[in-house]
A and B are shown apart, each in its own frame.
Chain A
Amino acid sequence: MEPLLLYGATLLTLAGIYAALTLGLNLQWGLTGLMNFGALGFVAAGAYTSALLTAPPSAMHVGGFGWPWFLAWPLAALAGALLALPIGAISLRLRTDYLAMATIGIAEIVRLVARNEDWLTGGPLGITGIPRPFESLGQPWGPVAFLLLVGAVVALLYAMAEATARSPFGRTLRAIRDDEEAAKAAGRNPAAFRLQAFMLGAACMGLAGAMLAHFFKFMGPDALDPVTATFLVWVMLIAGGSGSNRGAILGAVAIWAVWAATDWLAAQLPGELATRAAYVRLFMIGLALQLILLYRPQGLLGTGR
């Protein structure tokens, strides 16, 4: 019973972290039409921030400062938003595809910094000893309590995202997304609204990064890769239905379940085949995205954007 409980808790915790990420992307793309192909950068900003603030002091990098998680997580969200500020201020006026390239660029820069600035990030060795909340409860209740915490954060983000979507602010965002000229004529400043939405989404991603770091109890340049931190999130959002917060969560859980199940299946294969199966999985996820775009572009619960 206990291994199953632990496995389930792990699966759901990661699904919850992905749900937070997907909610952030939905704020940016689904609600506002901002194409962010660099979620990894904002996840990393949050992850490293929380890691440095909460880890025990180390000779390998600045800090850690041994803070409790509940003080560090808001700052992780802030770190994501702050990283979004300059990139957004520069490129939000521009076309969708330029923003997509700029966000890929910032994600790559963040990876370069993480790998090379040992004094800050511990370099390739990363930051170790990040405490996981409720660890003292032992197995299996510690992981379960952490899962509940992640679930509570997702619920909070969902409530905030829904409130945002319904607020005058959210209505303006949709108006700008659908018809920028009309929104301008109505006296709105699209750039300012977009920047706020972009930063809000990036804050969600930063928070997701923090949760990830505490779940892994480690953060290093190889802990994040563009396929799982950026691409998978896009598949989740599009599968769930961009524009819908419930769709974002549903997509995150469903796609993560498929991803984890195929991971488990692949692991059952003997040695060489197991590695190759991972590539088949990569191919299938790309194909799945194509099929959704072709046959169900509105996703499971989407608004048809």
Chain B
Amino acid sequence: MTLLAARGLVAGYGEADILHGVDLSVAAGQVVVVIGPNGAGKSTALKAVAGLVRPRQGSVRYDGQEIAGQPAESMVLRGLAYVPQERNVFPSLGVEENLLMGAFARPGAAREGLARAYALFPDLADKRRDAAGSLSGGQRQMLAVARALMLTPRLLMLDEPTAGLSPRFCTLIFAKVREIAASGIAVLMVEQNARPALAIADRGVVLAMGRNRAEDAGPALLANPEIGRLFLGGAAAAEGEG
């Protein structure tokens, strides 16, 4: 059952369009990874769904409802949670305060959300009083994801969650993403770290120049020699790293 279906998204900043008709769809419990070269419009597509960029054309159907152009602050209560790539924690607030901000729209759910967050990321429990600004990059990313999960969203959108992280944290984040999907949450994730991301993806979407270029099951994209050559930095390496 498709949870999110975006069709023909045209969007951009100021005068210039970045997306020239992009389609994205995610089903419950599925991990969809969006890859593509720099400037392909990956982040813009995510922002258009999250309500941070107003699509000029196209539709965003979520759970059977049209949500294109709805304000970003209304998305949380609909069950869409978005984690930006950078600046995704409140640095001067404590770890627990950051998590509580995630439950701001429904304070009644805060207690249960905290318990789940600390269960998913035990490292955060030890640092609950620390300022988020004092955390390492990987810990910040965990905190940002945990905050987005506070109200048990139905769709989690992650913009390059492993950017700038050490391999150890990348592996951890990808493992957690699978764990989150296993609980029934749909995950839509933009990644530069294409190979390991596709390896855990149910589906992969390749964007280039603001258009859909290819779409297939994650492993199938990894195995596709043309995709490997054009978007994964060489086909030969494809099998070796996987």
Chains A and B in contact, CB within 8 Å: no
Residues of A at the B interface (CB closer than 8 Å) are none
Residues of B at the A interface (CB closer than 8 Å) are none
